[in-house]
């Protein structure tokens, strides 16, 4: 399978790297490349690996991908098949398919194809119908199958796995959406709460958003050549988002980039691509997987699981959340990340105990699968927890007020008129990471925040030293009372674990690294202020009038240890991870340099953050 390594990030579709004999697949599987015709006549390129051992019947385990189902040709074999080495050696009929409009498949790709609930004719097609038609063909034409099908995938392929659930083919017996792209305006990839994630999308769409004239094995060069050794400096000099359409860059050569910039509110374009609304009456056994340090689709995993739970009362739906970055659960080893030492190989545990057991049980009737409703790795304490529900029932939501003198306290007044103030200057935005990078620093989700705490445009609120462990499990809610001198602003809220001054370094820490006093990021999120009341209909702030800005941060499972402190930081830029808000109420993709203005922002001490404390 073709792999994409862009900016040293693990992108979806990359199969796990493990110590596997180079010829294992070729020696144990027969490879078939074929085109499968969909109901509307479009043909999708499909690669099939059938076990040579014909003494038993095998289930089908399929990944549908926009990242190439190759290598192409009956004689060109992938070195690895399946989601992990354990399942590869179990032997399934492994199927890879280029989705509609990508690589060697015919048709047009709609980037998260909207689901059509009431199909009226053969021209009404979507990813659900393409999955259905593919499975129907496979069952009838690939011998030695046992009539059962499973689907899996990470990120975009995770979305395609999710999309198999509405209108599911009756042969589908197990589905595992992993870090699935789910709702790109509210929380995945493209935007978070309406704030555009500039850094990731600018780099990624340079590859993924390139058009094609028809089926291709390789998309060739990027849309434009752009080499940056310092992303902060590069994007600051690039200027407003509108400059990305200049002749040196996208220049309207990517339909996806055009659509992203055209649709700057939660309109019908984004709503149609929100698969959550269609996850009703799902009865197929489902294993939703995500990572606490997934910078792309943490929202997708949590909210795909939650949507099935809420809309499918008879579901067989489970959640796994581990201490992983995007797709790291398929790594051969995952014991450390950033400043964390987890004390065990968390990816191997997932692959063998959860993923392989899930598919083996439901597709082969082999062994047992007794995983809890939620299997969650708790950072801070570094232990796996099993819960009968997620969020757990034994949680109390406690308000922590952003109080005077930079204190974070459980006492406060909802009508407190006092405040802290900072000046937000788009010309000098707060960096999302500490250091000079020509790519996204993947460690930023657990990075030391002391570099930000010293800035005058970042407010800091810190608890007293904890006398006992405080464990959080569930969603976090930021509830800010603010006033601004302009008409729009972003608000970034960060939850931080402050380590004591005598904290020892973790095992194998880099030379010169100091954990003492480390302000470790636990969770952070951004809210584009004009969407504070509605994502569909943005509203300008009235200058100097107090407004409520309330939004959720993604779930956590974390223990603040005795002797640590809890910290909250508030700021209005997070650059260049998030594009700059001109701080003027307008269509931001149309903003010019002279639209960007400084503004003073007050955060009142009636503001609070609500934390899910385990009793």
- Looking at 360, 387, 414, the residue that finishes a domain is 387
**pLDDT of the residue at 11:** 37
Percentages of the chain per state (helix, strand, coil), in multiples of 5: 20, 30, 50
Cα dist from 175 to 86, 129, 178, whole Å: 17, 16, 10
Same domain, 382 and 514: no
Same domain, 430 and 363: no
Same domain, 354 and 313: yes
Residue 79 scores a pLDDT above 50: yes
Q: In which band, very low, low, confident or very high, does the pLDDT at 489 lie, cut at 50, 70 and 90?
A: very high
Residue 250 lies in a domain: no
Residue 213 lies in a domain: no
- Which residues are within 8 A (CB) of 608 and not within 5 positions of it... i.e. 6 or more apart? 399, 400, 401, 402, 412, 479
Count of positions (residues) in the chain: 615
**pLDDT of the residue at 14:** 40
Residue 303 lies in a domain: yes
Nearest to 289 by CA among 378, 375, 388, 392: 375
Same domain, 376 and 465: no
8-17, 194-203, 428-437, 590-599: which has the minimum mean pLDDT?
Answer: 8-17
Residue 495 scores a pLDDT above 90: yes
In 10 A of CB 602, how many CB atoms?
A: 17
In angstroms, rounded to a whole number, what is the distance separating the alpha carbons of residues 132 and 373? 28
Structure confidence by residue, pLDDT tens digits, 391-432: 999 999 999 999 999 999 999 988 899 999 999 999 999 999
Q: Alpha helix (H) ranges present in 151-267?
A: 156-163, 198-208, 231-238, 255-262
Average pLDDT over the chain, rounded to an integer: 95
Same domain, 579 and 500: yes
Same domain, 328 and 428: no
- Looking at 354, 387, 420, the residue that finishes a domain is 387
Query: 462 by DSSP, 3-state: which?
Result: strand
In angstroms, rounded to a whole number, what is the distance separating the alpha carbons of residues 57 and 146? 5
Residue 252 lies in a domain: no
CA 101 and chain centroid, separation: 23
Residue 217 lies in a domain: no
**pLDDT of the residue at 19:** 58
In angstroms, rounded to a whole number, what is the distance separating the alpha carbons of residues 180 and 304? 8
Same domain, 481 and 399: yes
Residue 609 scores a pLDDT above 50: yes
* Domains contained in the chain, number: 2
Same domain, 146 and 100: yes
Rounded mean pLDDT, 584-588: 98
Residue 71 scores a pLDDT above 90: yes
Residue 437 scores a pLDDT above 60: yes
In angstroms, rounded to a whole number, what is the distance separating the alpha carbons of residues 601 and 430? 15
Same domain, 516 and 370: no
Beta strands 29-37 and 43-51: pairing type? antiparallel
Q: What is the CATH classification number for the domain harbouring 607?
A: 2.60.120.260
Same domain, 382 and 496: no
Residue 255 scores a pLDDT above 80: yes
Residue 283 lies in a domain: yes
Residue 216 lies in a domain: no
pTM of the model as a whole: 0.96
Q: In which band, very low, low, confident or very high, does the pLDDT at 12 lie, cut at 50, 70 and 90?
A: very low
**pLDDT of the residue at 568:** 98
**pLDDT of the residue at 506:** 76
Rounded mean pLDDT, 151-169: 98
Q: What is the CATH classification number for the domain harbouring 350?
A: 3.40.50.1820
Cα dist from 41 to 38, 82, 106, 123, whole Å: 5, 28, 10, 9
In angstroms, rounded to a whole number, what is the distance separating the alpha carbons of residues 452 and 433? 8
In angstroms, rounded to a whole number, what is the distance separating the alpha carbons of residues 174 and 151? 7
Answer for the pair 102, 108: CB distance below 8 angstroms, yes or no. Answer: no
The label of the residue with tokens 């059938």 reads 50
Rounded mean pLDDT, 284-294: 98
Structure confidence by residue, pLDDT tens digits, 501-557: 998 887 777 777 889 999 999 999 999 999 999 999 999 999 999 999 999 999 999
Nearest to 476 by CA among 460, 488, 464, 494: 494
Residue 389 scores a pLDDT above 90: yes
In angstroms, rounded to a whole number, what is the distance separating the alpha carbons of residues 123 and 116? 11
Structure confidence by residue, pLDDT tens digits, 547-572: 999 999 999 999 999 999 999 999 99
Rounded mean pLDDT, 208-213: 95
Query: 236 by DSSP, 3-state: which?
Result: helix
Same domain, 465 and 318: no
**pLDDT of the residue at 227:** 86
Residue 178 lies in a domain: yes
Q: Tell me which residue range forms the domain holding 79.
A: 5-183+273-387
- Looking at 387, 409, 426, the residue that finishes a domain is 387
Give 501: exposed, middle or buried? Use CB within 10 Å, 0-12, 13-18, 19+: exposed
Same domain, 321 and 369: yes
Nearest to 170 by CA among 144, 149, 143: 149
In angstroms, rounded to a whole number, what is the distance separating the alpha carbons of residues 337 and 242? 36
In 10 A of CB 259, how many CB atoms?
A: 15
């Amino acid at each position: 399978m073709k792999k994409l390594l862009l900016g040293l990030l693990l992108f979806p579709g990359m199969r796990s790297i493990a110590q596997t004999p180079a010829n294992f697949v070729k020696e144990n599987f027969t490879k078939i490349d074929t085109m499968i015709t969909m109901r509307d006549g479009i043909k999708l390129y499909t690669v099939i690996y059938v076990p040579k051992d014909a003494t038993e019947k095998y289930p089908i385990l399929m990944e549908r991908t926009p990242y190439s189902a190759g290598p192409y040709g009956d004689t060109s074999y992938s070195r690895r098949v399946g989601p992990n080495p354990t399942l590869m050696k179990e032997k399934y009929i492994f199927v890879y398919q280029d989705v509609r409009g990508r690589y060697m498949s015919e048709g047009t790709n709609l980037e998260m194809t909207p689901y059509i609930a009431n199909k009226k004719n053969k021209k009404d097609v979507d990813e659900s119908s393409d999955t259905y038609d593919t499975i129907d063909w496979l069952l009838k034409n690939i011998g030695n199958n046992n009539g059962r099908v499973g689907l899996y995938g990470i990120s975009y392929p995770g979305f395609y796995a999710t999309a198999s659930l509405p209108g599911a083919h009756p042969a589908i017996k197990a589905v595992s959406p992993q870090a699935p792209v789910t709702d790109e305006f509210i929380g995945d990839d493209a935007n978070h709460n309406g704030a555009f994630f500039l850094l990731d999308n600018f780099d990624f769409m340079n590859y993924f958003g390139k058009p094609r004239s028809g089926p291709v094995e390789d998309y060739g060069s990027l849309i434009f050549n752009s080499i940056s050794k310092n992303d902060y400096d590069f994007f600051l000099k690039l200027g407003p988002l509108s400059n990305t359409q200049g002749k040196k860059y996208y220049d309207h050569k990517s339909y996806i980039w055009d659509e992203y910039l055209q649709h700057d509110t939660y309109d019908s374009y984004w709503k149609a691509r929100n698969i959550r609304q269609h996850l009703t009456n799902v009865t197929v056994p489902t294993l939703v997987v995500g990572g606490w340090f997934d910078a792309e689709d943490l929202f997708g995993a949590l909210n795909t699981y939650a949507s099935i739970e809420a809309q499918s009362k008879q579901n067989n739906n489970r959640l796994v959340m581990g201490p992983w970055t995007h797709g790291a659960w398929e790594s051969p080893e995952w014991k450390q990340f950033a400043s964390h030492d987890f004390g065990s190989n968390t990816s191997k545990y997932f692959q063998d105990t959860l993923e392989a057991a899930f598919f083996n049980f439901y597709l082969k009737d082999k062994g047992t699968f007794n995983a809890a409703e939620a299997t969650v790795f708790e950072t801070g304490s570094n232990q796996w927890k099993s819960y009968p529900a997620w969020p757990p029932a034994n949680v109390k939501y406690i308000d922590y007020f952003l109080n005077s003198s930079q204190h974070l306290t459980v006492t406060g007044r909802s009508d407190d008129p006092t405040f802290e103030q900072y000046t937000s200057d788009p010309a000098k935005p707060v960096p999302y990471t500490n250091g000079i990078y020509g790519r996204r620093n993947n460690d930023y989700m657990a990075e030391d925040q002391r570099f930000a705490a010293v800035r005058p445009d970042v407010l800091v609120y810190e608890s007293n030293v904890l006398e006992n462990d405080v464990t959080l499990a569930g969603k976090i809610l930021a509830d800010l009372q603010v006033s601004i001198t302009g008409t729009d602003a972003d608000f970034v809220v960060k939850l931080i674990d402050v380590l004591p001054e005598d904290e020892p370094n973790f095992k194998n820490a880099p030379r010169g690294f100091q954990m003492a006093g480390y302000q470790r990021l636990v969770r952070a999120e951004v809210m584009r202020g004009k969407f504070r009341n509605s994502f569909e209909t943005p509203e300008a702030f009235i200058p100097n009038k107090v407004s409520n800005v309330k939004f959720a941060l993604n779930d956590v499972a974390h223990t603040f240890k005795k002797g640590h402190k809890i910290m909250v930081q508030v700021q209005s830029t997070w650059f260049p991870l998030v594009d700059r808000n001109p701080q003027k109420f307008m269509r931001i993709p149309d903003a010019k340099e002279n639209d960007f203005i400084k503004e003073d922002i007050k955060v009142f001490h009636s503001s609070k953050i609500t934390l899910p404390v385990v009793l």
